[in-house]
Amino acid sequence: MADEQKGFRLSRRLLLGAAVVGGAVLWGGNTVARLARGPSGPKNAGRIADIDGFALPLKPLDNAPAFDASLPWSAKGGDINDASGLSMTPVYGVVEVSGDEHIAKALAFARANGLKISLAAIRHSMGGHAFDDNALVLDLRKFNRVTVDAAAKTMTLQPGARWHDIQNLLHPHFAVKAMQSTDIFSVGGSLSVNAHGMDHQAGSVAGSIRSMRVMLADGSVTTCSPIENTDLFRHVVGGYGLFGVVLEA
């Protein structure tokens, strides 16, 4: 009788333990599945009202100019946001860039009408760095050509190219010397912050750039490198897009 009661208690403990483990596995599985799901819609927490107590007032654009019909607008007016969902910013409009001429025309239009210019691609700055109130935004995602010189082991890239696509193109023969540890970013975004990855020996992306063609605010195009127009090179790489638009690197 004692042996039967002992066996019953042991079986009950096993059942209770199995139930607890099963419940934990079920809960954990549901939690992982929920966290792994894509967002049900665009993330948008609205506009941040202040930073450390300093107000960020929204000033409407006075006397907005008419849109230039020769530019490829993907949006006229409206708002733009980054991956954080915390940087909702009203803009004058968004030009979908696919060639140098679009950038030159947009810069000329902005100069003639007193508009600010913002540069954006994947929009993962997550701090509002890529936008400004009422700016004309150059969307560089389709400005993304990649050319590989296998003999020289170099690439020529437009700023909208994503590292993921570049890696797929290079694999299995070559590898990128220096890039961020995640491949979702654009080349232009990485250059603008002089990004680096986990391999500290490779250094930042600046060390892998042979030269760049850059369009300045006046529409002129110049070449810069570590040995040519070095001041411009040092300002553009890590300059958050403030000193010119990279056409290719």
- For residues 53-59, give the mean pLDDT: 72
**Residue at which a domain ends, from 104, 139, 174:** 139
pLDDT score for 22: 66
SS3 annotation, 151-164: CCCEEEECCCCEHH
175 and 117 within one domain: no
193 and 135 within one domain: no
The model's pLDDT over 182-208, given as tens digits with 9 standing for 90+, comes to 888 899 999 998 988 777 777 888 999
- For residues 62-81, give the mean pLDDT: 93
151 and 239 within one domain: yes
pLDDT at 65 over 70: yes
SS3 annotation, 72-124: CEEEECCEECCCCCCECEECCEEEECCCHHHHHHHHHHHHHHCCCEEEECCCC
136-139 and 79-80 strand pairing: unpaired
Token pair belonging to 192: 């603008």
In a domain, 172, yes or no: yes
Kindly indicate the confidence band of residue 165, based on its pLDDT and cuts at 50, 70 and 90.
Answer: very high
244 and 203 within one domain: yes
175 and 108 within one domain: no
Can you give the pTM of this predicted structure? 0.79
In a domain, 1, yes or no: no
pLDDT score for 36: 62
133/136: higher pLDDT: 136
The model's pLDDT over 12-29, given as tens digits with 9 standing for 90+, comes to 666 666 666 666 667 766
Domain housing 92 = 50-139
pLDDT score for 12: 65
